[in-house]
Amino acid sequence: MLNLVKELCLLNGVSSGEDDVRDYLMERCRPYAASMRVDALGNLIVFKRGEKSTGNKLMLTAHMDEVGFIVNDITEDGYLKFAPVGGIDPRVVIGKRVSVGRGRIPGAIGLKAYHLVSAEEEKKVPDFEDLYIDIGAKDRADAERVTALGDLVAFESDAVEFGSGMLKAKALDDRVGCAVMLKLIEEELPMDCTFVFSVQEEVGTRGAFGAAFSVVPEIALVLEGTTAADLPGTDEHRRVAILGKGPVLSFMDNGTIYDRALFEQLRELAEEHGIPWQTKNYLSGGNDSSAIQRTKEGVRVAAVSTPVRYLHAPSSVVCCQDFNYVHTLVKHFIEALAAS
The amino acid at 144 = E
**Residues carrying an active site annotation:** 201
The CA-CA-CA angle for residues 28, 183, 87, to 5°, reads: 90
Considering just the CA atoms, what is the radius of gyration of the chain in Å?
A: 21
Contact 48, 33 (CB under 8 A): yes
User: What is the DSSP secondary structure assignment for residue 296, as one 8-state letter?
Assistant: T
Distances (CA, A) of 287 to 111, 126, 135, 207, 326: 32, 28, 34, 11, 17
Q: For residues 247 and 249, give the distance between their C-alpha atoms in angstroms, rounded to a whole number.
A: 6
Distance, C-alpha 32 to centroid of its chain:
23
DSSP letters, 17-84, are --HHHHHHHHHHHTTT-SEEEE-TT--EEEEE--SB--TTSEEEEEE--B-EEEEEEE-TTSPEEEEE
Distance, C-alpha 56 to centroid of its chain:
24
- At 20, phi and psi to the nearest 5? -65, -40
CA-closest candidate to residue 149, choices 162, 158, 136, 140: 140
User: What is the DSSP secondary structure assignment for residue 126, as one 8-state letter?
Assistant: P
CA-closest candidate to residue 15, choices 64, 73, 60: 64
